[in-house]
Every structure is written in structure tokens, then in C-alpha cells.
Amino acid sequence: MNSICAPIPFPPGNAALESHCRRVAGLCKLIAHQLFLSTEDKERLHLACLLHHQTEEAVATHGSRIPEGVRAVMESFWHVDKGDPQERVLAAVLRLADAFDGAVQKNPHPHVEVKRLLAELRTGIGTGLWSRKIVEAFQECTKPVQMPPPQQWRVPVFPQAAVRTLEAIRSPSVSLPQVVDAARRDPATAGCIMHLANSALYSERGEVSTLQMAVARIGFVIACKVVATLAMRPLLSIPKLEGLWPHSIEVADLAEQLAERSGAIDPGEAYLAGLLHDVGRIALGATTLYDAARLQGLEESGCPTVYAEDLILHTNHGALGAQIALTWKLPGRLVAAIEHHHRPEVSSEVLPSLLYLAEYQTGSVEDLTSNARLRLALSTTGLTERDLEGCQRSGVGTWLAAA
């Protein structure tokens, strides 16, 4: 069948509505596969998903730009008793997906809970909005394959040197020779410190030729941070997750700045938590090809990462990261921060809220936006929106992300 040549535009400034339509299209694609719909029906359904926000009047006005088969599905979507049997099936799939995503968004702290939401939506069976078969197809296509235990996730050994180095920053007895000695243990790290000291960030003072001079130039706090960060690089530089390293550096950078402004969290601890906040993404490499394909399909349709993970795996990379942190025997505060950085409202700790704000400030859209969650995180940390705006990626953070 012919695709839409010129889609009806979304109302100006209504990006949220457009995102909703794309998520609904992703959900419908899952259900359509489960129901073994034809390729033509899948295409009709997809196009109807992108249009279902429109009024009947708008669709009528632009009718010449919309294939007849799609208009028929839309008619059945608006009027349950209209259309042939197949059009009613497609409209019912769309109706269920639309209601499901709408129910997620109604929560002030959006969270995909498949079992609970589908249980609530079963009432639509009795009213003819959708059939039991369609609800069960949705339930089946979002049933997770059992995740293997953490021992099979191929998680690297945690570099304890990173924690010791960050702790050294807070020690009043730390000395320049100690930091130089820590850096010298790894030639690659020592080379990076030399490179940083001679970079455009510091080069106006002339070139340095020894590691001790390099550490003295950038300062032992920055040097410790470089040593600790580069010790983490093997954990976070994963070919399949090429954006993980620079994103983790940016969140760590901003978390440290926000901690300094808040005064409620040690900046060194905030920095380490920022580096590790998305470590659970390592575990996603252990998912089955089937789950990986479903996750990829949803994200390509416009579903945020956490939304897709909760839908398909019934867990997310925050919870998986907490399991990894437990195997590393990290402090409880760090475990909680990693686990709840997308759900700070479920924790009484300050660090999850701080990480939420740091990730928010990066512009990363890993979950549905929530003004209520943002306000709560600001209140918990004692920060303001002006504090957020005042925190930007630092020169050293940018340099480390590219190192």
C-alpha cells in the first residue's frame, strides 16, 4: 500500500504529543508481531498510530494525503462499531496501546508496570474497546525471557584503585608525591596526565617534561580525578555501548559540581557515583537476541531506554547496575544511587536525586520526563533550577571524555 506522502503536522510546540504517538506505534508493532498480522496491516496500523492524535475534522481535511485503508482504521478507532472485522482489530490494538501509554503518563512519577496496568485495562474487554486476545497478545509480547544470573554477565573486576584514589582527595594528609606515585603505576595514566598538563587547558604556562611537574601544574585534586577516572575506563569503554564512556564522564562532572553547590553530598562520592550510574547497561549484553531485538525496536520507535527496559525486561539498567555494584561490594549509598537514579522518589537518600539532576542536565532522555520528579529531586538536594543552569561540562570533563 502507499505510505503517507505528506503527514499531517503536529500542533506547534507539541513535542510531547508527537513522542506519545511514536511510543504507541512501537507498542502496536510488538502486538502486531504477536498477532501475526500481515505486512500490509502492520503498515496501516503504524500510519494510524502516527495520526491518532488528530481529530476527525483534521483527517477529513487532509484526507487526500492519507491512504484509504488508514482512514478506515482511524474511523474504526473513533467509532468502535464501524469498519470491517480486520479494521476493528487494528483499531482495537491502537486503542489498547494508546490507553496503556496514557496510563503510564498519568502517574506523576511515570513508571511502566506491565502487569498492573494491563490488569486495570482488562476492563476494556467488557466494554468492547479491545478483545481478550489482544490484551493477552500484549501480555505475551512483553513477557521477559529469564535474565541469566549476574555471574554470567561478564562483569569486569572493579578497580579498587579508583576508590582509593578518590578517597585520597578527601584526606588532609595526602601529598603530591603520593599522587605522583599513584599515577606512575600505570604508564597510560601517567601519559594522559602529561598530555593534560600540556593541553590547551594549561599550556599557556609552558611545557612540562616530568610527571611530578605535570601533577603540580594541574593540581593533586584534578590529578586524583584523572587517575580514578582512567582506572574506570575499562569498565565503561564497551564497543557495543560506545556512548557510555563520554556520558558517564559528563554525569560525573556535573554530579560533582551539584554536590559542591548542595553541600549535602561529598563531591568525590558524587563523582564516583556519576561514573558508575549507568554501569547496569553492561548487563544488557547478557540479554537474549529476542529481548535485545525487542528493546532495539522500541527505542528506534521513540521509546526512552528505561521505558523500553521496564516494558520488556520488567526491570531496568538501574536495578541491574545495583546488582553489579553489590557483587563489587560497593558502599550501600552507591548501590542505592545506581539503582534509583531514574526513580529518586523511592529512596530517602540524597545521592539518587543528585544523579537524576546531573543526568537531566546533560539533556539525556532515558525515561519519560516528569516535572514532579524534577521538583522532588531539587527539593531533596536543596538545589534550584538556577543551580542546574549554572553547572556545565567542565574543560577537564570534556578532555577526559575524549581521552
What are the residue ranges spanned by the domains of the chain?
15-141, 160-402
pLDDT mean over 333-362: 96
The verdict on domain 160-402 having CATH code 1.10.3210.10 is: yes
Whether residue 323 contacts residue 150, with contact meaning beta carbons closer than 8 Å, is answered with yes
pLDDT mean over 367-386: 95
* CA gap 310, 371 in Å, rounded: 20
* CA gap 197, 218 in Å, rounded: 6
Whether the predicted pLDDT of 219 surpasses 90: no
Whether the predicted pLDDT of 278 surpasses 70: yes
pLDDT band at residue 313 using 50, 70 and 90 as cut-offs: very high
Whether residue 219 contacts residue 198, with contact meaning beta carbons closer than 8 Å, is answered with no
**Phi and psi, residue 19, nearest 5°:** -65, -40
Give percent above pLDDT 90 in the chain: 56
Three-state SS for 111?
coil
Q: Between 221 and 384, where is the model more confident?
A: 384
Give percent above pLDDT 70 in the chain: 92
Whether the predicted pLDDT of 299 surpasses 60: yes
Mean pLDDT of the chain, nearest integer: 88
Q: What is the pLDDT of residue 172?
A: 64
Length in residues, the chain: 403
pTM: 0.89
pLDDT band at residue 243 using 50, 70 and 90 as cut-offs: confident
pLDDT band at residue 7 using 50, 70 and 90 as cut-offs: low
**Beta carbons within 8 Å of 193's beta carbon, 6+ residues apart:** 183, 211, 214, 215, 218, 223, 226, 227
Q: What is the pLDDT of residue 1?
A: 47
pLDDT band at residue 154 using 50, 70 and 90 as cut-offs: confident
**Beta carbons within 8 Å of 200's beta carbon, 6+ residues apart:** none
User: 336-340 contacts: CB < 8 A, separation 24 or more?
Assistant: 337/273, 337/277, 338/273, 338/276, 338/277, 338/279, 338/280
pLDDT mean over 284-288: 82
Q: What is the pLDDT of residue 236?
A: 84
Q: What is the pLDDT of residue 167?
A: 66
* CA gap 317, 319 in Å, rounded: 6
* CA gap 253, 248 in Å, rounded: 8
pLDDT band at residue 181 using 50, 70 and 90 as cut-offs: confident
Whether residue 298 contacts residue 19, with contact meaning beta carbons closer than 8 Å, is answered with no
Q: Between 106 and 7, where is the model more confident?
A: 106
Provide the 10 A C-beta neighbour count for residue 6: 9
pLDDT mean over 101-111: 93
Q: Provide the terminal-to-terminal Cα distance of the chain, rounded to the nearest Å.
A: 50
